[in-house]
Structure 1
Amino acid sequence: MLGAIAGDVIGSIYERNNVKFTDFPLFSGHCRFTDDTVLTAAVAEVLLEGGAGSHEAYVDKFHEWFHVYPDAGFGGTFFDWARSRNRLPYGSWGNGSAMRVSPIGYAFETLEEVLAEAKISAEVTHDHPEGIKGAQAIAAAVFLARQGTSKAAIKSEIIERFSYDLAPTLDEIRPHYRFYVSCQGSVPQAITAFLESENFEDAVRKAISIGGDSDTIACMAGSIAEAFYGGVPGPIAERTRKHLDTRLRTVVEEFQATFTGN
């Protein structure tokens, strides 16, 4: 999950100031964690506390973490949902379901378990089929990556199972890509950034380089890259942790110790 958080922190300054190239500063004094990080930590805490399989556990945890970090940059519909402590989903197809799902890719031993849990974590808010599919696709990619699956096999599995078009290259996507908050408009692009990457840092840089919802695309690509490349490089991990408060760092450390052995 630290890979997802690193992508979020690095991408945070480019979300509203898009770049269309990869040669940009990874960190600056303006970097921060956003709602992507907060809700990724919330999912991790559900799993740490034994709440897997429970819609109620996810609702409770999303409400709890929102009220700790109400200014993290949540989308308007989620903000209203969490602020009012609504317990019913709101039919979203947005990428919020996919940005937060990466811990699930580590917490189970079969792909079917991962897909089932990703669905549960998504549908408490994002119960539109595209919202569920986006979360499942990212969780599946993380799971397959940590299992040592090749990029070619990951690509084939995602295409076959979710019918995403992964044919366009980043060079083809980049010139015309704009800000999409939908899963269908950002999840395939994030997966493509990972597939074209040479290492973790390259995956994050490539994800940000297409523009659009930069922190979330980098969050999703970073989560898969961490699993595939065996972690987040030390200097990037250290800089990322410096942007987190004690509560967030504690969850990251507990999750890593419990589910990744690090």
Structure 2
Amino acid sequence: MIGAILGDIVGSVYEFSNIKTKDFPLFSQSSSYTDDSIMTIAVADWLLHGGDLAKVMQCYGKKYPCPMGGYGGSFARWLNEDYPKPYNSWGNGSAMRVSPVGWFFNSLEETLAVAQETAIITHNHPEGIKGAQATAAAIFLSRNEKSKEYIREFIETTFDYDLHRTCDEIRPAYRFNESCQGTVPEAIIAFLESNSFEDAIRLAISLGGDSDTLACIAGGIAESFYRYQIPYNLIKKVETILEPDLWKAVQEFRNDRQYKVFWRNI
């Protein structure tokens, strides 16, 4: 999941100031984590320790109430409800927080089932569920060493996403889009077109739009595909930017057997 957090941090300064090129600094003094990272870590915490996912997410939201960019309006209200209910969202929030699920299970079936579980507490619209499942599936398939063409075909066949576009074709007309159906396919395309982890992040952000979430989704998938090629200095950068408690939770997940077995060199 650290790839998702990296993507979020790099994309944070471009969410409301889009840049339509791959040529940009990865970090600046303004780079920070957003709600994408906080909720990703909340899901990881829940996978490790169990409990009520809604309460875990609310706990993280209340502990970190003012991330860069804030929380979406409906989700912010949900975070503060005594009895939170799903609100039929098709937004990309379900996909941006799901990356730990792609690492945690030994079967694709369980991965898809739990991805749905993490989505439906808020994003119970079919598109919200589909976005989370497609993202988790791409991570699961990548860490099990499936080829990009295999991943492309599986995602297209299973979720009916059009992944036969290029970033150059998408970029000129692409605008801010917070829906799963307008974000997840584009993020997956950025991963499929990339030649390295960093390139996946740069491609996703270069599309414009919801930059931190595009890069969060693409980064989560790219991590599992390029896991032995992610520069260590990028991982250390996450440590310096996250709050100590958030980094501690990341480390706990990284040290879990299911995750660590795929990161033997870290």
TM superposition score category, shorter chain reference: over 0.9
8 A contact 1:4–1:221 mirrored in 2: yes
State the partner residue of 2:187: 190
Deviation (angstroms), 1:260: 1.8
Answer with 199-208 or 238-247: which moved more.
Answer: 238-247
Deviation (angstroms), 1:84: 2.3
Q: Distance in 1 between matches of 2:53 and 2:128?
A: 16
| Correspondences of 1:197-236 after superposition (within 5 Å) | 197-231=194-228, 232-236=230-234
The TM-score, its normalising length taken from structure 2, stands at 0.95
**Which aligned segments of 4 or more residues in structure 1 are displaced greater than 4 angstroms?**
none
Q: Distance in 1 between matches of 2:232 and 2:146?
A: 23
State the partner residue of 1:260: 259
3-state DSSP class of the match of 1:63?
helix
Identity %: 53
State the partner residue of 2:131: 134
Deviation (angstroms), 1:83: 1.6
Deviation (angstroms), 1:218: 0.1
State the partner residue of 1:243: 241
- Post-superposition Cα deviations, 1:20-65, rounded to whole Å, max 9, x if no partner, equal 00010000110000000000000000011034xxxxx211111111
Q: Distance in 2 between matches of 1:164 and 1:255?
A: 30
| Correspondences of 1:53-132 after superposition (within 5 Å) | 57-72=52-67, 73-132=70-129
- Post-superposition Cα deviations, 1:235-255, rounded to whole Å, max 9, x if no partner, equal 111112211011111111110
Answer with 20-29 or 82-91: which moved more.
Answer: 82-91
Q: Distance in 1 between matches of 2:30 and 2:83?
A: 33
1:42 aligns to 2:39 (yes or no): no
3-state DSSP class of the match of 2:212?
helix
Q: Distance in 1 between matches of 2:146 and 2:72?
A: 34
Q: Distance in 2 between matches of 1:77 and 1:85?
A: 14
- Post-superposition Cα deviations, 1:145-194, rounded to whole Å, max 9, x if no partner, equal 00000000000000000000111110000000000000000000000000
Return 5+ residue gaps in structure 2 as ranges. Answer: none
3-state DSSP class of the match of 2:249?
helix
* Partner AA of 1:64 in structure 2: C
* Partner AA of 1:66 in structure 2: G
Q: Distance in 1 between matches of 2:133 and 2:74?
A: 21
State the partner residue of 2:32: 32
3-state DSSP class of the match of 2:255?
helix
Q: Distance in 2 between matches of 1:85 and 1:75?
A: 18
Deviation (angstroms), 1:233: 1.9
Q: Distance in 2 between matches of 1:106 and 1:50?
A: 16
Return 5+ residue gaps in structure 1 as ranges. Answer: 52-56
Answer with 75-84 or 37-46: which moved more.
Answer: 75-84
3-state DSSP class of the match of 1:106?
helix
Deviation (angstroms), 1:85: 3.4
8 A contact 1:63–1:85 mirrored in 2: no
Aligned-residue CA RMSD in angstroms? 0.9
Q: Distance in 2 between matches of 1:63 and 1:224?
A: 26
3-state DSSP class of the match of 1:8?
helix
* Partner AA of 2:33 in structure 1: F
Q: Distance in 2 between matches of 1:124 and 1:162?
A: 20
* Partner AA of 1:59 in structure 2: A
1:4 aligns to 2:1 (yes or no): no
Deviation (angstroms), 1:102: 0.3
